[in-house]
């Protein structure tokens, strides 16, 4: 009875596939790939020595071969599709002539591989699957048919034709890729009792695929030894995509069956080993490849997300180290990433996207050599630690010193505690941020960039008003008494907290960025050199602070305000540029690159129209404010002269 039901299901499926909606489904590359993967494995159950041994299975093979042929013919026109059609027709002819099992399996797998090369589809999970989650899902959804141990003899398996797959069957498991299992879990198998589980999340489907694909292999310990001792094997699996698309039999052709079984046992049970070995640049490569496939499939929004993730989640964590070892290479990679995102935004052809990705991948190879552990020395860690703290600390120090000198010249020493409270509070908040990010929260790359960006923008706007105000007070030395009188009243009305806010905001932004850099540096080891570099930079900052405070005391108040206003204006221009660039890196605003434009990250200058436009706008507002101040001062001088 079950044979007739299965046959009827096959006939119904064939009829459905001859009409529009089913044809559209069959014309999807992932559906065609799934059918080819199924045929490569199950043809052996239909034909043996040129004879049909299972009529239902054979009819299914014939039906699937016809579906593959017609589905390929309906795929979008691309170079190579004609060759796919010819190979699909030959595969169908081989099955109709009951060709040998090896011949059909090889032809189906080659056609599937060629299909992926021309019509890329998602091949891997976005993160290492949770095998414990996979085991629980298996017990809930699969054990009733496939058995608790995966032997195919669950309580609901009686009478099913074809019977459920035995995941413990090593010979069969060697022929099945994780991607093939994922596709079956996602869509089921037509003509069988195997349903699809598309209602599960993508992470759950991958976890289930990895778990069910691991139960046949037992040599986990030997596989772990191979993985940890053989660097060439690790290169063979640079990312999860490389693991999900290969079958153990294909791997056995490269390294031998025993080693292949052991390695598959370990990696399928511990996919996180690949993610750990890949490191940040491995994540970058994976995301770039996924972005390229998404773009080729017409999913532009997904391609944009993945290209952004390639930078934020992969490359950004290694920026601090690369900046100290090869700053030119850092600039080239950042520019390449920015250009890629702009190209996707502009909806350029996939060939243009692929060209940009290939260029970035070449730069990543150089970066790997620069970042290799053997390239790390105690001295390089010292220099990086020193340069980072000095650079970030100096920017914050200039504002703090300006505020301290300001309240002292105003004769408002009581306001000093608010200034000191601002920068010490920022240090405490930075430490709490580090603790939260390390032990409590997972701050994404986009989150990090957004925090820095919005902090820069707010600080820039505050400094804009402060700079114009200070410039106004520099226009006439005989305003000194007036300034002190007015400042005394203003500070008594609550502006003390405004001072606190300025200092806190500027210092916290620099502390936050410094924490990110030091977290990356600490992963290299050489803790002693890192601390020595930080201590040296800290001492130098103390010396600079002492000199600035000593010099500012001797400046007449008019000159002090003049110099301070110029300094604060420049910092406002720098911060507005960094803020806009940060929002671009976080994907909040778009990117319009300036070909060959300047890139001076220390000055907040980046080669995009948005950044340069924002800095020019800030400079224009500042100049306008300074001109208004100068005009008012000149008018006041003429009025006094007239009197």
CA distances from 338 to 87, 582, 607 (A): 40, 12, 10
CA distance linking residue 336 with residue 276, whole number of Å: 25
pLDDT bin (cut points 50, 70, 90) of residue 482 is: very low
Longest dimension (CA), the chain: 119
Phi, psi of 77 (to 5 degrees): -65, 125
In the structure encoding, which two tokens stand for residue 575, read together? 């911060």
Mean pLDDT, the chain, rounded, equals 77
CA distance linking residue 404 with residue 419, whole number of Å: 7
Phi, psi of 375 (to 5 degrees): -85, -15
CA distance linking residue 474 with residue 237, whole number of Å: 65
Q: What percentage of the chain reaches a pLDDT higher than 70?
A: 76
Length of the chain measured in residues:
643
CA distance linking residue 330 with residue 177, whole number of Å: 37
Q: What percentage of the chain reaches a pLDDT higher than 90?
A: 7
Is the pLDDT at 20 greater than 50? The verdict is no
What DSSP line would sit under 104-157, residue for residue? Answer: HHHHHHHHHHHHHHHS----S-SS---HHHHHHHHHHHTHHHH-TTSSS--TT-
Is the pLDDT at 640 greater than 60? The verdict is no
Phi, psi of 220 (to 5 degrees): -65, -45
Cβ atoms 326, 309 nearer than 8 A: no
Of the CA atoms within 13 Å of residue 463, those in its CB half-sphere come to 32
- 3-state SS string over 576-596? HHHHHHHHHHCCCCCCCECCC
Q: Model confidence over 421-469: pLDDT tens digits?
A: 888 888 888 778 767 655 554 455 555 556 666 666 776 776 676 666 5
Q: Model confidence over 363-408: pLDDT tens digits?
A: 887 887 777 655 556 676 787 778 778 877 887 787 787 778 777 7
Closest CA to 550 of 395, 390, 405, 398: 405
Q: How open is the CA angle 284-289-293, to the nearest 5 degrees?
A: 145
In the structure encoding, which two tokens stand for residue 299, read together? 């999913």
pLDDT of residue 411: 67
CA distance linking residue 271 with residue 263, whole number of Å: 11
Higher pLDDT, 618 or 506: 618
Least confident of 81-95, 120-134, 303-317, 607-621: 120-134
Cβ atoms 164, 144 nearer than 8 A: no
Q: Model confidence over 93-144: pLDDT tens digits?
A: 999 999 998 899 889 888 887 887 787 665 677 677 888 888 898 888 888 8
């Amino acid at each position: 009875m079950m044979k007739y039901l299965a046959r009827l299901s096959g006939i119904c499926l064939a009829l459905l596939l001859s009409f529009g909606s089913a044809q559209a489904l069959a014309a999807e590359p992932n559906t065609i790939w799934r059918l080819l993967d199924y045929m490569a494995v199950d043809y052996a159950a239909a034909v043996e020595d040129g004879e049909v041994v299972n009529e239902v299975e054979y009819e299914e093979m014939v039906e699937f071969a016809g579906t593959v042929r017609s589905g390929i013919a309906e795929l979008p026109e691309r170079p190579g599709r004609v060759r796919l059609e010819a190979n699909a027709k030959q595969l169908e002819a081989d099955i109709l002539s009951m060709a040998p099992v090896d011949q059909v399996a090889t032809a189906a797998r080659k056609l599937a591989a060629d299909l992926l090369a021309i019509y890329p589809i998602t091949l891997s999970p976005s993160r290492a699957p949770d095998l414990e989650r996979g085991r629980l899902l298996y017990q809930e959804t699969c054990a009733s048919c496939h058995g608790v141990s995966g032997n195919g003899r669950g309580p609901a398996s009686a009478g099913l034709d074809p019977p459920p797959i035995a995941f413990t069957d090593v010979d069969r498991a060697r022929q099945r890729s994780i991607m093939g299992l994922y596709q079956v879990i996602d869509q089921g198998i037509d003509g069988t009792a195997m349903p699809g589980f598309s209602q599960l999340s993508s992470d759950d489907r991958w976890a289930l695929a990895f778990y069910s694909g691991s139960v046949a292999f037992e040599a986990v310990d030997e596989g772990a030894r191979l993985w940890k001792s053989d660097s060439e094997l690790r290169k063979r699996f640079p990312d999860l995509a490389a693991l999900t698309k290969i079958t153990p039999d294909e791997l056995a052709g490269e390294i031998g069956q025993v080693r292949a079984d052991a390695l598959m046992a370990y990696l399928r049970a511990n996919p996180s080993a690949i993610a750990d070995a890949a490191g940040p640049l491995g994540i970058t490569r994976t995301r770039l490849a996924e972005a390229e496939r998404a773009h080729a499939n017409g999913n532009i929004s997904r391609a944009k997300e993945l290209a952004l993730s390639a930078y934020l989640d992969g490359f950004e964590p290694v920026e601090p180290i690369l900046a100290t070892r090869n700053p030119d290479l850092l600039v080239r990679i950042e520019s390449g990433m920015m250009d890629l995102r702009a190209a996707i935004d502009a909806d350029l052809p996939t060939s243009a996207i692929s060209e940009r990705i290939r260029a970035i991948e070449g730069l990543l190879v150089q970066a790997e050599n620069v970042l290799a552990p053997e390239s790390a020395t105690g001295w390089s860690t010292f220099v990086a630690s020193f340069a980072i703290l000095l650079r970030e600390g100096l920017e914050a120090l200039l504002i703090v010193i300006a505020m301290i000198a300001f309240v002292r010249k105003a004769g408002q020493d009581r306001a000093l505690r608010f200034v000191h409270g601002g920068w010490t509070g920022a240090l405490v908040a930075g430490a709490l941020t580090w603790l939260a990010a390390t032990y409590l929260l997972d701050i994404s790359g986009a989150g990090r960039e957004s925090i820095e960006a919005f902090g820069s923008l707010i600080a820039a706007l505050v400094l804009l008003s402060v700079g114009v105000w200070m410039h106004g007070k520099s226009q006439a030395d005989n305003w000194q008494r007036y300034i002190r009188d007015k400042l005394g009243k203003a500070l008594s009305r609550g502006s003390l907290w405004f001072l606190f806010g300025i200092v806190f905001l500027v210092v916290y932004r620099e502390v936050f960025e410094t924490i990110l850099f030091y977290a990356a540096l600490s992963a290299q080891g050489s803790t002693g050199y890192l601390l020595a570099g930080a201590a040296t930079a800290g001492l130098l900052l103390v010396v600079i602070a002492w000199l600035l405070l000593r010099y500012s005391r001797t400046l007449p108040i008019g000159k002090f305000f003049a110099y301070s206003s110029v300094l604060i204006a420049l910092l406002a221009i720098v911060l507005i540029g960094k803020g806009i660039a940060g929002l671009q890196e976080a994907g909040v605003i778009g990117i319009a690159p300036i070909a060959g434009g300047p890139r001076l990250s220390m000055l907040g200058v980046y080669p995009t129209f948005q950044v340069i436009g924002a800095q020019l706008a800030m400079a224009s507002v500042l100049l306008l404010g300074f001109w208004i101040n100068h005009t008012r001062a000149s008018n006041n001088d003429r009025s006094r002269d007239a009197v």
